[in-house]
Amino acid sequence: MSNTVFIFITGGVVSSIGKGITIASLGLLLKRRGLSVAIQKFDPYLNVDPGTMSPYQHGEVFVTEDGGETDLDLGHYERFMDQNLSQLSSVTSGMVYWDVLSKERRGDFLGNTVQIIPHVTNEIQRRLVSVLDETHYDVVLTEVGGTIGDMESMAFLEAIRQFQYNNRSQCFHIHMTLVPYIQAAGELKTKPTQHSVKELRGIGIYPDAIVCRAELPLDESVKKKIALFCDVDETAVISAHDVPSLYEVPFVLAKENLDGVVAKKFGWESVPIDLSDWAQFVELSKTTPNQTLTIALVGKYTALSDAYISVVEALKHASMAYNCSVKIQWVHADDLENTDSLDKQFSNVDGILVPGGFGDRGLGGKIRAAHYAREQKIPYFGLCLGMHVAVIEFAQNVLQWPNANSREFSSEDKLVIDLMEDQHNQTDKGGSMRLGAYDCHLVTDSLAYQAYQTSVVSERHRHRYEFNNTYREAFESAGLRIVGENRDRNLVEIIEIPDHPWYLACQFHPEFKSRPNRPHPLFSSFIQGVLSKQ
């Protein structure tokens, strides 16, 4: 840790201001400077992780290679930095308190009174540096969730203040605030930023840079005013104004020289940054597409696009590579259950995608969507639950098993989706989850193999129910192909229907591994399949 620097980003004025995109963009810039970068998120909520939270509460649950269920910001970090993260990159108040109280129960504190200071703050600091336990990094980037003034985040801020006290020369603080534009006055207002910085300084943290989120670029007079009243260098007041795409943010921050401000503090040499590949992707996003594809995304959290943000981004990555754009038609699964015909919902769609999820609400609508896609020869892509839906639909309508179902939703019907044998007696549902990366062996004459161009791949999972191998022969005899499996545990990973323009469903979540400059092979194949049907 001796020569590692720690960069913290906090937020003020309002939540959801864009700290995650900002720190991910800074991580990209620092990596392009040749530095090794670790990145992590401190979330102040008391849940141990977001795995049991409704997506309406916190957006999608992102899954790391080692099976961590984390905040969606880790998806931004991975996509921008093109770097796989681990469970160490996600820290919640729930994790911290759980560990502290577990130590207290074991007697680790030798009878002392357990308090926020020093026990909780010490545990936070331990987790801050834990990313360095196995690998050295030049830089550790840490985003503190929430907003300055929130009671929930005070322990994290105090821990950072203490850490800075002992490692002052290695710390850099970025504070991100809203600079609102008052249209009637025609002005950007700096007072909220001044108050937010004042509150941060009252905690004992003095920002080295202020990133100002605004509708319009900040002019020099606004920057001078913020610099004067917030006691930072004028060059360290960074304009983070609105841009058409979040993928343009690295260019905004590079132009504002945020990475240069950081480099100046730590005495790093000035080096040129090559963002040509990133620029190529951004340019593609601005190019007038040859055509627009309409993809129906059938789910139960469609009122909040962040619930499926990795799926949405993966579709963007794949479509841009074919010089087309994707228009997502959000279809609430419940709405498909009580309608006589699905022609109205799907008459103008080019493909149907059913993403992952839990629970039986909207299940009937998802099954009907898979049935419509299969019969009407519309390209279908099922992810996790989307595969279960496809299997249940095939069993009900092709194998003529009307009671076919999943143990997740029934315990008495013909369970074509079931728990593995060693999971039946587990009472802790979290303990029976298959989480993180698992290998998948592919059949060579398949859509999946054509997409991946390799026979063994590794993909991330988040589920507890599996294809029931008892019925495998019956499915394959009826025309459903099993083209991917995990051989270590004899688990079905990918199914296809050959007599169809493009019909594939997988047990895993390929969206988590898609990158702007490297679209996921299955998403690329899906877009290709949709285009070939035009």
- Using an 8 Å Cβ cutoff, are 50 and 44 in contact? no
Catalytic residue among 119, 175, 509, 520: 509
CA torsion, points 148, 301, 460, 364, in degrees to nearest 10?
160
**Three-class SS of residue 196?**
helix
Q: Check if 511 is active-site.
A: yes
- Tokens 């007079």 locate to 221
- Using an 8 Å Cβ cutoff, are 460 and 437 in contact? yes
Contacts of residue 69, defined as CB under 8 A and 6 or more positions apart, other chains included, come to: 49, 50, 51, 61, 62, 63, 435, 462
- Using an 8 Å Cβ cutoff, are 124 and 140 in contact? no
- Number of Cβ within a 10 Å radius of residue 145: 23
Q: How far apart are CA 173 and CA 39, in angstroms?
A: 14
309-321 and 521-532 helices cross at what angle (nearest 10)? 60
Strand blocks (E) in 34-117: 37-43, 62-63, 69-70, 90-92
- Tokens 């590794």 locate to 458
Catalytic residue among 171, 384, 440, 506: 384
- Number of Cβ within a 10 Å radius of residue 238: 25
Q: Check if 384 is active-site.
A: yes
Tokens of residue 57, six digits: 């509460």
Q: Check if 509 is active-site.
A: yes
Q: How many residues does the chain have?
A: 534
SS (H, E, C) 342-367: CHHHHCCCCEEEECCCCCCCCHHHHH
Active site residues: 384, 509, 511
